[in-house]
Amino acid sequence: MAVTQGGKGYLGYMDKYNSAQGLGYQVYRYSTEQVKSGLALEQILKRIG
């Protein structure tokens, strides 16, 4: 999601996140910096075992 996303776009993303969670998915959000540094992958791997 772009940081500059307006309120309407943000609400659309919230709806998608809620729908995914309602279907049993686990939703995690990471910044570009967290992905590039490897932090996101490290945390996801810990969570899935």
> What is the dihedral angle through the alpha carbons of 29, 35, 37, 39, rounded to the nearest 10 degrees?
40
Dist CA 25 CA 16 (whole Å): 11
Could you tell me the pLDDT band of residue 3, with boundaries at 50, 70 and 90? Answer: low
Phi and psi at 33, nearest 5°, equal: -65, -40
Q: Mind giving me the DSSP string for 13-27?
A: HHHHHHHHHHTT---
Which pair of tokens denotes residue 7?
């309120």
pTM of structure? 0.65
| 46 or 3, greater pLDDT | 46
